[in-house]
Structure 1
Amino acid sequence: MSRRRKGRDVHGVLLLDKPAGYSSSQAVQKVRWLYQARKAGHTGSLDPFATGMLPICLGEASKTAAFMLEASKTYLARAALGQSTTTGDIEGEIDEQLPVPPLGLDEIRAALARFEGTIEQIPPMYSALKHEGQPLYRLARAGKEVPREPRSVTIHAIEVVDWETPVLTFRVTCSKGTYIRTLAEDIARTLGSCAHLGELRRLNVEPFRESDMIGLDEVAALAEAGRQDEALQPPDAGLADWPVVALEGLAEERFGHGNPVDGVSAPPGLVRVYGSGGLLGLGEVTADKLLKAKRLMNIAR
Structure 2
Amino acid sequence: MAKAKWRSVDGIVLLNKPIGLSSNQALQRVRRLFQAAKAGHTGALDPLATGMLPLCLGEATKFSQYLLDADKRYLTCIQLGKRTTTGDREGDILTEESVPSLSDESLESILDGFRGEIEQIPPMYSALKHEGKPLYEYARQGIVIERKRRRVTISNLTLVSRTADTLTLDIQCSKGTYIRTIGEDIGEALGCGAHLHSLHRISTAGYSPENMMTMEEFEAISEQGYEALDAHLLPMDTAVEYFTKVDLPETDTMNMMFGRTIPSPVSLDNGTVVRMFDQGTQRFLGLGQIKGTMLRPFRLVNTSEFSL
| TM-score when normalising by structure 2 | 0.93
Distance 1:18 1:68 in 2: 16
Distance 2:19 2:47 in 1: 6
- Find 1:270's aligned residue among 273, 277, 284: 273
Shift of 1:145: 0.6
Shift of 1:211: 1.2
Distance 2:264 2:23 in 1: 43
Distance 2:103 2:150 in 1: 31
Q: What is the 5 A alignment of 1:1-301?
A: 6-226=5-225, 227-268=228-269, 269-275=272-278, 276-277=280-281, 278-286=283-291, 288-299=292-303, 300-301=305-306
What is the letter of the counterpart of residue 289 of structure 1? T
Shift of 1:266: 4.5
* Deviation readout 1:36-88 (Å, 9 max, x if unpaired): 11111111110011000000001111111112222100000001001111111
SS in 2 for 1:67: helix
SS in 2 for 1:138: helix
Distance 1:59 1:266 in 2: 32
Shift of 1:166: 0.6
SS in 2 for 1:27: helix
What is the letter of the counterpart of residue 252 of structure 2? A
Distance 1:249 1:187 in 2: 57
* Deviation readout 1:90-137 (Å, 9 max, x if unpaired): 121111222111123222222111111111100100111122333211
SS in 1 for 2:230: helix
Distance 1:176 1:81 in 2: 25
Distance 2:189 2:98 in 1: 13
* Deviation readout 1:218-242 (Å, 9 max, x if unpaired): 1111111121112111011121111
Structure 1 unaligned residues grouped into runs of 5+: 1-5
SS in 1 for 2:24: helix
Distance 1:27 1:135 in 2: 19
| TM-score when normalising by structure 1 | 0.95
RMSD: 1.5
SS in 2 for 1:231: coil
Greater CA drift, 116-125 or 126-135? 126-135
Greater CA drift, 204-213 or 126-135? 126-135
Structure 2 unaligned residues grouped into runs of 5+: none
SS in 1 for 2:296: strand
* Deviation readout 1:152-177 (Å, 9 max, x if unpaired): 10010101011011111001000000
Query: Residues 276 and 284 of structure 2 are in contact (CA less than 8 Å); yes or no, is this contact kept in structure 1?
Result: yes
Distance 2:83 2:186 in 1: 12
Runs of 4+ in structure 1 off by over 6 angstroms are none
Query: Residues 248 and 265 of structure 2 are in contact (CA less than 8 Å); yes or no, is this contact kept in structure 1?
Result: no
Shift of 1:189: 1.2
Shift of 1:289: 2.7
